[in-house]
Amino acid sequence: MASSGTGTGSPCGACKFLRRKCASDCVFAPYFCSEQGPARFAAIHKVFGASNVSKLLLHIPVHDRCEAVVTIAYEAQARIRDPVYGCVAHIFALQQQVSKKKHFKPVWSEGNGRDRK
């Protein structure tokens, strides 16, 4: 019984991109499939670096890692689109939209205590 990586011999998407052997305990394997994984991982590796992301994932409980990979991938793609603001550019745009609609006076916008008595 030799160490056989993911079993079928094909590395996960991350290891495929990094051109390295995929270990049986590879931290990326559950989140990066062999087909779409490499393209997805390319942005993450470019922005954060593979070893930083693997260290980060190891500090996160296993049941939260899937969500973390989704947000890291989102942030990496945003950071490539906009190297200065990253996903904050999107947040600013949404804040602009909200402030343009200020005349609707959403209930949370003013603490005038009108309902208190």
53 binds Zn ion (CB under 5 A): no
Out of 22, 44, 47, 73, point to the residue binding Zn ion (CB under 5 A): 22
Residue nearest to Zn ion (CB): 26
Query: Quick one: 20 or 81, whose CB is closer to Zn ion?
Result: 20
* 69 Cβ neighbours under 8 A, 6+ residues apart: 31, 32, 57
26 binds Zn ion (CB under 5 A): yes
- Please state the closest distance from residue 39 (CB atom) to Zn ion, in A: 15
CA distance 49 to 66: 18
